[in-house]
Amino acid sequence: MQAVREKGDYRHDYSSLMATDKVKNETGAARFKEPYTGPGCAGGILIGVSYFLCVLFFPFSLCYTIKVITEYERVVIFRLGRVLPGGAKGPGLLFILPCVDEIKMMDLRTVCRDIRPQKILTKDCVNITVDAVVYSRIFNPNLSVCYFENPHLSISIMAATTLRKTLGKRDMAEIICDRKKIAREITRKFDRQTANWGIKLERIEIKEIKLPKDMERSMAAEAEAARQARAKVITAKGEQNASQALKEAADIMSQSPAAIQLRYLQTLKSVAAKNNSTILFPLPMQLSQGYSHS
């Protein structure tokens, strides 16, 4: 299977491919597990000639026939166009026949690819732009090289399509709050779809969700209003507690006139301690009442 590039965009209809290739889905990798019947008469002659050339130009032919495969790589050998039985080869030394064998080197390490920003319309009709990253690795080189021309590119394109479908069924608030849950759901879908493709989607992470400017301003205003409302509630509760404490203090001080006088003197001391040039000296109300009666 091969992704097609048109005008800079990679597009591939995976659903139509799997619908038209129903036998592949049902039998898994049976397409590439046909019994190896051998190269045939003409192929045997070509292989014999290749061995003869290797012997004839020995030891110089070793430069072309011996390959070193690293620990994280595997090699799929095509001999006269057919995949050799026994699976991928490596790591270590590998012997290939010149002019007969064609090798495809496959890297088993995890590859990280950025998904192009996807513009998505959510369930509550909000346009958002999502940036994501995909981690994938090849676990079966034979299937991967036969199914895909570029496995990691194809899996990233399919991840973008699945991401759009999944996020389009959710509300904006759910997308912002449940990123990890959405990533696990997409990974499970890939495990079912790519089980027989030789490549596995390990993780998909949503890096950033960009909202429209108007939506950002409205959400900021809503958050600010909510903060102000909470601040007013906290202030009101503080004033309520303070008034209750003052009422209790007034009730206690009303029972003892000396306590009121001591509090009065304490207030004068605190005012005079600030080096003020003017000191307000309040008179008791009882004094003014005595003068009025006289």
- Average pLDDT in the 219-236 region? 84
Looking at residue 18, its pLDDT comes to 39
Residue 283: pLDDT band by 50, 70, 90 thresholds?
A: low
Q: Is the pLDDT of residue 29 over 50?
A: no
> What string of DSSP letters covers 139-180?
S-HHHHHHH-SSHHHHHHHHHHHHHHHHHTTS-HHHHHH-HH
pLDDT digits (tens, 9 = 90+) for 55-90: 888 888 888 888 888 888 899 888 888 888 878 888
pLDDT digits (tens, 9 = 90+) for 150-186: 888 888 888 888 888 888 888 888 888 888 888 888 8
Looking at residue 36, its pLDDT comes to 60
By percentage, how much of the chain surpasses pLDDT 70?
A: 78
Looking at residue 16, its pLDDT comes to 42
Task: Supply φ then ψ for residue 274, to 5 degrees.
Answer: -95, 10
SS3 of residue 81 by DSSP:
coil
Parallel, antiparallel, or unpaired for β 4-6 and 66-69? unpaired
Q: Is the pLDDT of residue 24 over 80?
A: no
Average pLDDT of the residues of the chain: 76
Please state which of the ranges 38-47, 134-143, 231-240, 242-251 shows the lowest mean pLDDT: 38-47
CA–CA gap between residue 291 and residue 204 (Å, rounded)? 88
Please state which of the ranges 42-46, 126-130, 139-143, 203-207 shows the lowest mean pLDDT: 42-46
Q: Which helix (H) or strand (E) holds 55?
A: helix 40-56
Q: Is the pLDDT of residue 15 over 50?
A: no
- Average pLDDT in the 129-157 region? 86
- Average pLDDT in the 10-25 region? 39
Nearest Cα neighbor of 268 from 244, 251, 249, 284 is 284
Task: Supply φ then ψ for residue 96, to 5 degrees.
Answer: -125, 155
Q: Is the pLDDT of residue 224 over 80?
A: yes
pLDDT digits (tens, 9 = 90+) for 228-275: 888 888 988 888 888 888 888 777 777 777 777 777 777 777 766 666
Higher pLDDT, 236 or 284: 236
Please state which of the ranges 10-14, 62-66, 211-215 shows the lowest mean pLDDT: 10-14
Q: Is the pLDDT of residue 12 over 70?
A: no
Q: Is the pLDDT of residue 284 over 70?
A: no
Looking at residue 178, its pLDDT comes to 83
Looking at residue 140, its pLDDT comes to 87
Higher pLDDT, 230 or 195: 230
